[in-house]
Amino acid sequence: MKKYSLSLWSWALNEENLVAVFVEASTRHLEAVTDDYEIILVDDGSTDRTWEIMQGLVRNYPRLKILRHETNRRPGSCMHTCLKETTKEIVFWNTVDFFFDSSRLSEWLRELESCDMIQGVRTDLKANTFYRKLTHLVNYWMIRILFGIYLHEFQNVKFCRADFLKSIGFESASTFTNPECAIKAYWAGKTIKEKSMVFLPRKAGKAKGAIPVGLIETFRDILKYWFRWVLLRQLPKPIRRGKILKLDGSVWPCG
């Protein structure tokens, strides 16, 4: 397997019970596959001891870069911040509560030999509340129908090349920033490969991804960029459609 240089992005909001465990485990998992990596971790407006703990971690983990938002700006803005600091070849992201099992990194990196971007697909939503399931489905179907891209998932982990992300830039600042990566990759003629992922439940603290203000911002951005990119055709480059390697082994679009 080819050895890549890797940049892991993550962000924390009041995660004093998890942040040290996350950095330790992520470092161990990264060092198992490469000696060229960085962890970029953003404190997204925490009011507990998260930032204090992160400052202490930097002394013991030289590959860790820490940044701080004075107020909570949510995941999309954190992705903007991480992109500015990225120096490695391949980017992927994870949450501090480890929704993605990074101990399986080598398995995911092998997939990059046959595609430009990997999209993690979580098929088991049993751990979600009814409210989370509903918002997930509404978010998913809005993006799929409005943008006409038939992925099984737009959120969750992605693996992609940092130079591509820097070339497209991020326009949104909500949780739509993650789907924005896939939409622009497909429209740039890239090959996106779906890969089934196992969801790891949170072991401490509270999930913060489904707060109403964040969901409102996401729905607003879905409509805003659909209007701008699809209706007005205000894109930096002409659309050159790519292809999607589906979970079942089929290719979309066919032919």
Domains and CATH numbers, the chain: 6-248 (3.90.550.10)
* 3-state class percentages of the chain: helix first, strand second, coil last, to nearest 5: 40, 20, 40
Band (190; pLDDT cuts 50, 70, 90): very high
**Which of 38-52, 84-98, 231-245 shows the lowest mean pLDDT across its residues?**
231-245
* pLDDT value, residue 140: 85
The phi-psi region of residue 162 (left if phi > 0; otherwise alpha if psi is between -120 and 50; otherwise beta) is alpha
Report the predicted TM-score, pTM, of the whole model to 2 decimal places.
0.91
Which residue(s) pair with 160 in the sheet? 91, 117
CA atoms within 13 A on the CB side of 214: 17
Average pLDDT over residues 103-115: 95
* pLDDT value, residue 238: 80
Looking at the predicted structure, is the pLDDT value of residue 210 above 60? no
**Which of 140-149, 159-168, 231-240 shows the lowest mean pLDDT across its residues?**
231-240
Band (130; pLDDT cuts 50, 70, 90): low
Looking at the predicted structure, is the pLDDT value of residue 201 above 70? no
Looking at the predicted structure, is the pLDDT value of residue 128 above 60? no
Average pLDDT over residues 102-110: 96
* pLDDT value, residue 215: 81
Average pLDDT over residues 132-137: 63
Average pLDDT over residues 33-48: 97
Looking at the predicted structure, is the pLDDT value of residue 77 above 60? yes
**Which of 78-82, 92-96, 223-227, 238-242 shows the lowest mean pLDDT across its residues?**
238-242
Band (132; pLDDT cuts 50, 70, 90): low
Band (100; pLDDT cuts 50, 70, 90): very high
Average pLDDT over residues 64-88: 96
Average pLDDT over residues 242-252: 95
Looking at the predicted structure, is the pLDDT value of residue 252 above 70? yes
Q: Which segments within the chain are labelled E, that is strand?
A: 6-12, 37-44, 64-69, 90-93, 117-121, 158-161, 191-196, 243-245, 251-252
Contact between residue 26 and residue 39 where contact means Cβ atoms under 8 Å apart: yes
**Which of 116-125, 135-144, 221-230, 245-254 shows the lowest mean pLDDT across its residues?**
135-144
Q: Which stretches within 32-156 are classed as H helix? A: 50-60, 75-85, 105-111, 130-147
Which residue(s) pair with 40 in the sheet? 9, 65
Average pLDDT over residues 119-123: 88
Phi, psi angle pair for 44, to nearest 5°:
-95, 60
* In the chain, % of residues over pLDDT 70: 88
